Structure 1
Amino acid sequence: MDKIAVLIPCYNEALTVQKVVTDFRRALPEAVIYVYDNNSTDRTAELAAAAGAVVRHEYQQGKGNVIRRMFREVDAAAYILVDGDDTYPAEAAPRMVRAVTEHQADMVVGDRLSSTYYTQNKRPFHNFGNDLVRFCTNRLFGGRIKDIMTGYRAFSYRFVKTYPVLSHGFEIETEMTIHALHRNMQVENVVIDYRDRPAGSESKLNTYTDGFKVLRTIARLYKDYRPFGFFSILAAVLATVSVVFFVPVLGEYFATGLVPRFPTLIVCACGMVAALLLFIAGVILSSLLTKDDRDFEFRLQQVEQWQHQSESAPSGGRQRGNQHETV
């Protein structure tokens, strides 16, 4: 098991990856730097290896797929996850690692939005999207996360080995944040300086397409992690619409003793039945989620036992021996 693992997912980052690897080797000399190349068509893998990183490959396109591979393959007491575009300062990494190793944090968020992000980032819709995602996530899941979409984070071993990666693309940051909030894991915010990409380096994030994916992910995870609230809202909407259309029919019945609009009455009755079914579904799923939460706590205990066993086992020199390996 590595003491510290720096995980760098990369796709066509030849312009910056060498500097990123060099900076993190200087900031964290005891760490193993892993660069996972995601089908780059430039010299990203070659330059990363030349800078001293362990280079591996993920052939399924998408940042979520890369992070899934990283979390499965790398064992470490503390992890740093950072983009390979040289927008995040390596100098903040020791502080983030200490939050994991000394303060027992499960996830440390590199907070760009409280420092230089709004002045450095030249894409106004990205700024609006970050604020919208932060508001929705914290409001729906009861968090106080300062930066939801940041690509600079630190993790504990137990977070990495219990986090089910379901997303394929850039919505992965939102998913891991919501996972940490739902599982009551310790999350800390560390303010970092952000710098925009250097000239010639292009963002892989599409403001509109990936933004809608992120919002859809929030809605999906709200359904999964807050089923009672989600289905209660749907039930309330259906019940309200049914009552609104039923009131005139009821008033006409009291006035004349007749029900001339039977189709409306039937639709209202079906709407109320559907609302009741949705409410019951929310109650049942909420009960199942409670059982899942209990099972998760047992899995956490197992992961902590694995970590203790791995840390007590002889290292065999793996940490430095494979630092120039290219898979």
Structure 2
Amino acid sequence: MTEISSSATVAPGLARFPAFLYGLLIAGLGLGVYLTGVLLGFFRLLLQADGQLLWVVDRIVWYSGMPVVAGLILILCDLFVLLPYKRGNRVVRWAPSKEQSLTVVLTAFNDELSIGSAVEDFAAHPLVRRVVVVDNNSSDRTSEVARKAGAFVVHEPVPGYGSCVYRALREGLRYTDTELTLLCEGDMTFRAYDIDKFLAYLPHADLVNGTRISEQLREQRTQLSTFMYYGNFFAGKLLEVKHLGRGTFTDVGTTYKLCRNRPLERLLPSLNPSINLEFNAHLLDTALARGLAVVECPITFHNRVGFSKGGNSSNWKALKVGSRMILGIVLGWRKRQ
């Protein structure tokens, strides 16, 4: 018996509609209204207010159930009606790369203390053809140390994490003798021995994204605090429900990624380098929206050498970056200060 394609019963636009994501938002709004009503009821009892306030509290609590129910309906619709069409007739992908040698591109900003060790670590891996360091206006000896360690160094004059990562990906595509580009940072939080893990996942994907959520693979002291750990997990799940049926995601903030060059060439024009510290979430969201196969790979995570200059420097800064990630996933990506 011939299977009926999803397009024959559900319009493609409807099959792509992120009902789960919007259901969560609507139900969350209803829950917020409900809690507001409960809080007002508490103050009414505390202050022994008149019956008018009781009427207001009663209406708030009563009508808060409407968005909660509407959100749950959207979630259940996505899970039990649309999900089979979103998944389609997909089979497990197996497409090994003919060439496994790769170009490593490292982003760097004032990483004088770590960049030399990072370059030497990646250059020593037998499959690495070259290491390119993209220096984003460092004021220390980052470029000098990187060259001394054997890296090709390029200077990215536009400040910002997104500009640096975007330039790194462009540099990786410049080399035609490798079909793979490995993106990483030069702060020694990641190690070259995880390349073998990435390559094991590569036959299933266009882009393999490292995840730091495996507790057993994290050092005791890293820049990823408990708040940032679960914040990344939450943002990853938000991305997952937005692209329901496309993958499982637990970490949207890591830079460590392995990309096939041909899909990367198609993806690059859709990326916005003006997006700053939330660029990695933007990259994953855009890749999924453009139909690239994205798979997560558990990687080791180590304490960085030197000081963090990005979103991991404090919980307050991480909260702001995480909020922009969530806004980008939900409302779309644009430049934010």
TM-score strictly above 0.5? yes
- Using the alignment, how far apart are the partners of 1:68 and 1:141 within structure 2? 23
Residue number in structure 1 paired with 2:222: 121
Q: Does 1:157 align with 2:256?
A: no
Q: Does 1:188 align with 2:295?
A: yes
- Using the alignment, how far apart are the partners of 2:194 and 2:250 within structure 1? 16
Give the alignment's Cα RMSD to 1 decimal. 2.5
Query: Could you tell me which amino acid in structure 2 is paired with residue 139 of structure 1?
Result: V
- Using the alignment, how far apart are the partners of 1:222 and 1:85 within structure 2? 31
| TM-score, structure 1 as length reference | 0.61
Distance 1:98 1:118, change over 3 A: closer
Secondary structure at the aligned position of 2:238 is classed as helix
- Using the alignment, how far apart are the partners of 1:5 and 1:24 within structure 2? 10
- Using the alignment, how far apart are the partners of 1:182 and 1:173 within structure 2? 14
Q: Does 1:111 align with 2:211?
A: yes
Preserved contact between residue 14 and residue 42 of structure 1 (Cα < 8 Å): yes
Distance 1:204 1:215, change over 3 A: closer
Preserved contact between residue 122 and residue 192 of structure 2 (Cα < 8 Å): yes
Residue number in structure 2 paired with 1:204: 310
- Using the alignment, how far apart are the partners of 1:3 and 1:121 within structure 2? 30
Q: Kindly indicate whether structure 1 or structure 2 has the higher relative contact order, using CA contacts under 8 Å at least 6 residues apart.
A: 1
Distance 1:72 1:133, change over 3 A: same
Q: Which runs of 5+ in 1 are unaligned?
A: 226-327
Secondary structure at the aligned position of 1:82 is classed as strand
Q: Which runs of 5+ in 2 are unaligned?
A: 1-98
Residue number in structure 2 paired with 1:219: 327
Distance 1:216 1:114, change over 3 A: same
- Using the alignment, how far apart are the partners of 1:175 and 1:27 within structure 2? 29
Equivalent residue for 1:57, pick from 155, 161, 175: 155
Distance 1:208 1:146, change over 3 A: same
Residue number in structure 2 paired with 1:138: 240
- After superposition, give the CA deviation of every residue in 1:23-62 in whole Å (9 maximum; x if it has no partner): 1011145421110000111111001001110000101111
Preserved contact between residue 219 and residue 303 of structure 2 (Cα < 8 Å): no
Residue number in structure 1 paired with 2:117: 19
Residue number in structure 2 paired with 1:86: 188
Preserved contact between residue 15 and residue 201 of structure 1 (Cα < 8 Å): no
Superposed, 1:1-327 pairs within 5 Å as 3-75=101-173, 76-97=178-199, 99-100=201-202, 103=203, 105-115=205-215, 116-117=217-218, 119-121=220-222, 123-142=225-244, 143-163=247-267, 164-166=270-272, 167-198=274-305, 200-205=306-311, 206=313, 207-209=315-317, 211-224=319-332
Secondary structure at the aligned position of 2:154 is classed as strand
Query: Could you tell me which amino acid in structure 2 is paired with residue 72 of structure 1?
Result: R
- Using the alignment, how far apart are the partners of 1:134 and 1:221 within structure 2? 10
Query: Could you tell me which amino acid in structure 2 is paired with residue 180 of structure 1?
Result: A
- Using the alignment, how far apart are the partners of 2:155 and 2:328 within structure 1? 29
- After superposition, give the CA deviation of every residue in 1:160-179 in whole Å (9 maximum; x if it has no partner): 21222214322111011112
Preserved contact between residue 28 and residue 94 of structure 1 (Cα < 8 Å): no
- After superposition, give the CA deviation of every residue in 1:182-229 in whole Å (9 maximum; x if it has no partner): 22322222211111113x43343254345434433443343449xxxx
Secondary structure at the aligned position of 2:124 is classed as helix
Preserved contact between residue 238 and residue 329 of structure 2 (Cα < 8 Å): no
Shift of 1:118: 7.8
- Using the alignment, how far apart are the partners of 1:120 and 1:152 within structure 2? 19
- Using the alignment, how far apart are the partners of 2:169 and 2:301 within structure 1? 25
Shift of 1:98: 5.0
Shift of 1:180: 2.3
Preserved contact between residue 118 and residue 127 of structure 1 (Cα < 8 Å): no
Shift of 1:153: 0.7
- The count of corresponding residues between Structure 1 and Structure 2 is 222
Secondary structure at the aligned position of 2:185 is classed as coil
- After superposition, give the CA deviation of every residue in 1:243-290 in whole Å (9 maximum; x if it has no partner): xxxxxxxxxxxxxxxxxxxxxxxxxxxxxxxxxxxxxxxxxxxxxxxx
Query: Could you tell me which amino acid in structure 2 is paired with residue 120 of structure 1?
Result: R
Identity fraction in percent = 26
- After superposition, give the CA deviation of every residue in 1:1-42 in whole Å (9 maximum; x if it has no partner): 995110101001111111111010111454211100001111
